[in-house]
Amino acid sequence: MKIAIDAMGGDHAPDAIVKGALLATQDPSIKFIEIVLVGDENLIKKEFKVNELNGKCSISIIHTHENIGMADSPTTVLKAKQNSSIAVGINLLKEQKVDAFISAGNTGAVMASASLQLGRLKGILRPAIATVFPTKIGPIIMLDAGANVDCKPKNLLQFAIMGDVYVRYIFKNSSPKIALLSIGEENTKGNELTLESAKLITSTPLNFIGNIEGRDIFKGKADVIVCDGFVGNIVLKLAESLAEDMFSLLKKELSKSYLAKIGSLLCKGAFKNFKKSIDYSEYGGAPLLGVKKPCIICHGSSSPQAIKNAIKVAKNFVEQHLNEHISENIKLYNKN
Amino acid sequence: MKIAIDAMGGDHAPDAIVKGALLATQDPSIKFIEIVLVGDENLIKKEFKVNELNGKCSISIIHTHENIGMADSPTTVLKAKQNSSIAVGINLLKEQKVDAFISAGNTGAVMASASLQLGRLKGILRPAIATVFPTKIGPIIMLDAGANVDCKPKNLLQFAIMGDVYVRYIFKNSSPKIALLSIGEENTKGNELTLESAKLITSTPLNFIGNIEGRDIFKGKADVIVCDGFVGNIVLKLAESLAEDMFSLLKKELSKSYLAKIGSLLCKGAFKNFKKSIDYSEYGGAPLLGVKKPCIICHGSSSPQAIKNAIKVAKNFVEQHLNEHISENIKLYNKN
């Protein structure tokens, strides 16, 4: 299996990407894959030297010379920057030279390239970004996290179906609890979109538990949280930032007295674990569900650990034949 | 000035409500007001005894004998429970026997009673709940936090106008920065509602700074954050729960080692301040803007301190003639 990674995408590229790839080659759970780093060969090779690449790693490089910035519009990639790491990576996937593509670069550009170059799976109206959230009872997914700002009930139904398949095959949960994100648990609560979507999802054999509220997202009440990409993107960014803001607030309070400063030294290990458990970037990437080939979108600030985890997600995606299962299920529900 | 308080509303009623009222009478910044506690006289008097009421407090009681539960539908209050503390409180306001009403009870019931019994200010299409959030640079407001699930651009324009007036007169900020909550800072980012709303708000003299993202809410980039009540309610509940969840996660980590346990004893004061700064219920109540009389909605879990702060908010609302300013501004913008 070959997995291509955008070596130029993300706040810490190519450093974090190369390190992440090396971590993956040393992880016993990620065997039998070949990693293809797509990006500026000179910069990547420099990182390899720093990180002491030895002959055992099955990593190759495909050189590109154009850069996509975080501020570049998605159409730039499609039209003007055909030799960027994103455009080349997606093209490798299209031409079946690799089995999956991972990028921590410009999300809009990856999404647009993937949707337009690879195309949607048959029957899928809109692809969706599925974000993984850590909860008390383990990881859950929320979709859509930002691919579609205005949705119709039928889109949310398809997000529910794709989320169900993802959690069944990737998290090995045989009956994922599906919920709609809304403003009250009662089935009379919600906006026009969620009220109509609830009717559609109820009519399927999915394990639909109804509405959950904002306060329930991280409590693990549902395994799949369905919402439109506008709400999902706001929720995702708020959750990420609150974690950061709260940690800096805590640090500020702890620096105010000598006693607290000494105390915080003793708590150092606990603080480190606390920070790690609220760092969403550790949880690998967010798969773009509904396009014809496996694409994983990573957070811009992804660490080497996060990149390694994304490689694991991509590997599972391919091995579990996720797209075949999504297609089967969409076909099944479309028939009913 | 007379302020009526629903003594039966909230998770800790009447205890926390009575204590909050007593705190208010002892606060030098809340002078010259008369507090009217609306609820079960026997229960309220029992609390007074516990809390040693002395003759100096200008607090009176209006007895009611019906209870509204958190699960009661808003129409129950309007139709079946006319002698509940919410129905009686709103009626006192309508008959001009009090100047403002505060409740930590069933939000839907307060909102429905206020909108239907008191009516909307002239020109207002939809009232909105304005929630106060603490940020690095001080308090800001977000509206609507849940009164309207499906909104039109004109509703969001009016929320911006009401929010601007509120921050100018209550927070004494002469030029509040108004922003739309969206999924990207660029003015091309957003859903149909926010894109259309942005055009309307841009055409006013309001200090409109464009879009902000979920990650910017608590950074204090804007003084007034405008969104529909569906998004606002999810954001509010997520923020509240994340604060709680993170604190319990931190406590869990700190309990894992002896060193950390000792350290956390030394940090006790800092932790207390940290917890207080992320406790939104401390920030008084959320005014329901756009109805004809001042109504303040408090969090169900409001502490005595939060109730006291809500009394302060109600007092300011009345003293600053907020509704007159809202009416003037709505009239002004409707003309343009």
The pLDDT tens digits of the residues spanning A216-237 come to 998 889 999 999 999 999 999 9
**φ, ψ at A30 (rounded to 5°):** -115, 65
With an 8 Å Cβ cutoff, are B219 and A236 in contact?
no
State the DSSP H helix or E strand holding residue A32, giving kind and residue range, or none if neither: none
Q: In this structure, are residues A178 and A163 in contact, taking their beta carbons and an 8 Å threshold?
A: yes
DSSP string, B149-210: SS--HHHHHHHHHHHHHHHHHHS--SSPPEEEE-S-SSTT-S-HHHHHHHHHHHTSSS-EEE
DSSP string, A159-208: HHHHHHHHHHHHS--SSPPEEEE-S-SSTT-S-HHHHHHHHHHHTSSS-E
CA geometry: angle B140, B142, B145, nearest 5 deg:
145
State the DSSP H helix or E strand holding residue A292, giving kind and residue range, or none if neither: none
Distance of CA B119 to the CA centre of its chain: 19
Q: In this structure, are residues A172 and A320 in contact, taking their beta carbons and an 8 Å threshold?
A: no
CA distance between the termini of chain A: 36
**β-sheet bridge partners, residue A288:** A129
Give the pLDDT mean for A119-139.
90
Which residue is it, tokens 């939809």?
B126
Q: Does the pLDDT value for residue B224 go beyond 80?
A: yes
pLDDT at residue B251, as a whole number:
80
With an 8 Å Cβ cutoff, are B271 and A253 in contact?
yes
Q: In this structure, are residues A20 and A12 in contact, taking their beta carbons and an 8 Å threshold?
A: no
Q: Does the pLDDT value for residue B146 go beyond 80?
A: yes
Give chain B's count of helices (H) and strands (E).
12, 11
With an 8 Å Cβ cutoff, are B241 and A274 in contact?
no
The pLDDT tens digits of the residues spanning B246-259 come to 777 778 878 888 88
How far is residue A144's CA from residue B213's CA, in Å, rounded to a whole number?
16
Q: Is B190 on the interface with A (CB under 8 A)?
A: yes
Q: Does the pLDDT value for residue B52 go beyond 70?
A: no
Q: Which residues contact B94 (CB under 8 A, 6 or more apart)?
A: B117, B118, B293
Q: Does the pLDDT value for residue B87 go beyond 60?
A: yes
Q: Does the pLDDT value for residue A264 go beyond 50?
A: yes
**pLDDT band, very low/low/confident/very high, at A213 (cuts 50, 70, 90):** very high
Which residue is it, tokens 């308090």?
B139
Say whether the peptide bond before residue B40 is cis (omega within 30 degrees of 0): no
pLDDT at residue A79, as a whole number:
77
| Rg value, chain A, Cα | 21
Measured between beta carbons, which residues in chain B are less than 8 angstroms from residue A214?
Answer: 233-239, 241
**pLDDT band, very low/low/confident/very high, at A55 (cuts 50, 70, 90):** very low
Q: What is the mean pLDDT of chain B?
A: 88
Chain pair A-B, CB pairs under 8 angstroms: 180
Give the pLDDT mean for B302-329.
94
State the DSSP H helix or E strand holding residue B26, giving kind and residue range, or none if neither: none
How far is residue B115's CA from residue A14's CA, in Å, rounded to a whole number?
57
Task: Search chain A and give the residue with CA nearest B188.
Answer: A73
pLDDT at residue A87, as a whole number:
92
Q: Does the pLDDT value for residue B130 go beyond 90?
A: yes
pTM as predicted: 0.90
Give the pLDDT mean for A88-96.
95
**φ, ψ at B151 (rounded to 5°):** -120, 160
What type of residue sits at position A267?
A: C
Instruction: ipTM value, please give it.
Output: 0.88
Window 271-330 of A: residues touching B by CB (8 A cutoff) are 271, 273-274, 277-278
pLDDT at residue B141, as a whole number:
95
Give the pLDDT mean for B97-118.
92
How far is residue B148's CA from residue B231's CA, in Å, rounded to a whole number?
10
How far is residue A224's CA from residue A145's CA, in Å, rounded to a whole number?
12
Nearest residue, CB atoms, A263 vs list B149, B150, B264: B264
Q: State the burial class of residue A94 (Cβ atoms within 10 Å of its Cβ: 0-12, 13-18, 19+).
A: middle
Nearest residue, CB atoms, A249 vs list B191, B215, B274: B274
Distance of CA B264 to the CA centre of its chain: 33
How far is residue A281's CA from residue A287's CA, in Å, rounded to a whole number?
13
CA distances from A38 to A8, A91, A115 (A): 8, 11, 20
pLDDT at residue B55, as a whole number:
46
Q: In this structure, are residues A15 and A301 in contact, taking their beta carbons and an 8 Å threshold?
A: no
State the DSSP H helix or E strand holding residue A250, giving kind and residue range, or none if neither: helix A229-254
What type of residue sits at position B318?
A: V
With an 8 Å Cβ cutoff, are B246 and A246 in contact?
yes
In the three-class reduction of DSSP (H, G, I as helix; E, B as strand; rest coil), residue B71 is classed as coil
Q: Is B1 on the interface with A (CB under 8 A)?
A: no
CA distance B148 to chain A (A): 9
Nearest alpha carbon to residue A300 among A314, A310, A292: A310
pLDDT at residue A46, as a whole number:
86
**pLDDT band, very low/low/confident/very high, at A28 (cuts 50, 70, 90):** confident
The pLDDT tens digits of the residues spanning A161-206 come to 999 999 999 999 999 999 999 998 888 889 999 999 999 999 999 9
**pLDDT band, very low/low/confident/very high, at A130 (cuts 50, 70, 90):** very high
Please report how many Cα atoms fall inside a 13 Å half-sphere around the Cα of residue A316, on the Cβ side.
20
In the three-class reduction of DSSP (H, G, I as helix; E, B as strand; rest coil), residue B101 is classed as strand
Q: Does the pLDDT value for residue A273 go beyond 90?
A: no
Q: Which residues contact A31 (CB under 8 A, 6 or more apart)?
A: none
More confident residue, B220 or B136: B220
CA distances from A289 to A165, A303, A325, B103, B329 (A): 10, 23, 11, 45, 47
What type of residue sits at position B311?
A: I
DSSP state of A219: G
Nearest alpha carbon to residue B10 among B133, B143, B137, B103: B103
pLDDT at residue A200, as a whole number:
96
**β-sheet bridge partners, residue B211:** B180
Q: In this structure, are residues A330 and A158 in contact, taking their beta carbons and an 8 Å threshold?
A: yes
What is the b/e burial string over B284-321, where b = at least 16 CB atoms within 10 angstroms of the residue's CB?
A: bbbbbbbbbbbbbbbbbebbbbbbbbbbbbbbbbbebe
More confident residue, B281 or B236: B236
Q: In this structure, are residues A168 and A125 in contact, taking their beta carbons and an 8 Å threshold?
A: no
How far is residue B55's CA from residue B49's CA, in Å, rounded to a whole number?
12
CA distance A262 to chain B (A): 7
What type of residue sits at position A184?
A: G
Q: Does the pLDDT value for residue B119 go beyond 80?
A: yes
More confident residue, B119 or B280: B119
pLDDT at residue A282, as a whole number:
65
Give chain A's count of helices (H) and strands (E).
12, 11
DSSP state of A3: E
